[in-house]
Amino acid sequence: MENTMSSHLTVVGSAALDTIETPYGRAEDSLGGSALFMGAAGSLFAPVHIVAVVGDDFPTHQVEFLRARGVDLDGLEFVSGKTFRWHGRYHNNMNYRDTVSVDLGVFEGFNPRVPAAAAKAEILMLANIDPELQNSVLKQMVKPKLVVFDTMNHWITDQRQTIVQLLKKVDMALLNDEELQLLIGGKSTVDNATKLLEMGPHYAVIKKGEHGAILFTRHEPPFLCPAFPLCEPKDPTGAGDSFAGGMLGYLAATNDIGSYNLRRAVVYGAVVASFTVEEFGMKRLENLTQEHIEERFRQFRAMVEF
């Protein structure tokens, strides 16, 4: 799908080594982090630049598949110390997970510097990092056409004012239902999303795990996107991030943020996320192709037609 007219996508977030436990097994030091998941997914569609930090223990060979796909890793900073590590445990209901431990390592001192090529990207994905750092990244960009914001409960609780200010400067908020409720505290998802759009962004994509996602815009009715039904999802880690990567990669490749194309982008996000959860960590994204994606996109369309 990539063509010479593609916009570029810059993603700023975490690069991690994850330990993951699900009812289907366990993986250790599995490649993870929001920036890497988004890069792996987004690069299936369009040119991607990654801005993140890793330590000197980082297994560089594991990101070779990204380099081979043309991902620009100049913004992946190597710092002396340990790579960010996250340990998550899922139970039988894989919509919920416990964070067993977090070891920030070099991520604690992350001060994102956006290289020149990444700064020129038309689409910027501010994944879940300190909102002050998200602000600093935004200032380093040349002239992005679409700025997308993600966060997590911790930042909503601790840095609400920074987030409120940031929301005035972003075009799209990409949150899960729980984060949205914590941020807005309204009566329903629709009530919350309506209030969120009044705070700044033109678009909000609210993720609901295995129940799909809803796209809200200011002037159109919401778009409901189910999750692609799978019999044996093995590991939901990175589903949200690869949803974001797929959606924004598609928008970058097509250079169109009209309301119909936004809907298609959300479906591509859901399709890519459905592949991610089929294997542990990033394994499925490593060998995924455009053909696989298009085939599932067709199946998806047939499932929602009535």
Q: Which residues bind ligand AMP (CB under 6 A)?
A: 14, 16, 18, 32-34, 86, 102, 128, 237-241
Q: Which CB, 31 or 122, lies closer to ligand AMP?
A: 31
Rounded distance between C-alpha atoms, residue 150 and residue 174, angstroms: 5
Minimal distance, residue 42 CB to ligand AMP, in Å: 13
Please state whether 203 falls in left (phi above 0), alpha (psi between -120 and 50) or beta: beta
Rounded distance between C-alpha atoms, residue 32 and residue 137, angstroms: 21
Minimal distance, residue 247 CB to ligand AMP, in Å: 13
Q: Which CB, 201 or 238, lies closer to ligand AMP?
A: 238
Q: Which CB, 134 or 254, lies closer to ligand AMP?
A: 134
Minimal distance, residue 116 CB to ligand AMP, in Å: 25
Q: Which of 98, 99, 139, 101 lies closest to 12, judged by CA? A: 139
- Taking CB atoms, the residue at the shortest distance from ligand AMP is 32
Q: Which CB, 204 or 254, lies closer to ligand AMP?
A: 204
Minimal distance, residue 280 CB to ligand AMP, in Å: 11
List the strands of the sheet with 97-103, edge to edge. Answer: 25-32, 16-22, 84-90, 97-103
Q: Which CB, 102 or 117, lies closer to ligand AMP?
A: 102
Structure tokens at 279: 């294997």
Minimal distance, residue 70 CB to ligand AMP, in Å: 22
Structural contact between residues 73 and 63, judged by C-beta atoms closer than 8 angstroms? yes
Q: Which of 228, 229, 183, 235 lies closest to 206, judged by CA? A: 183
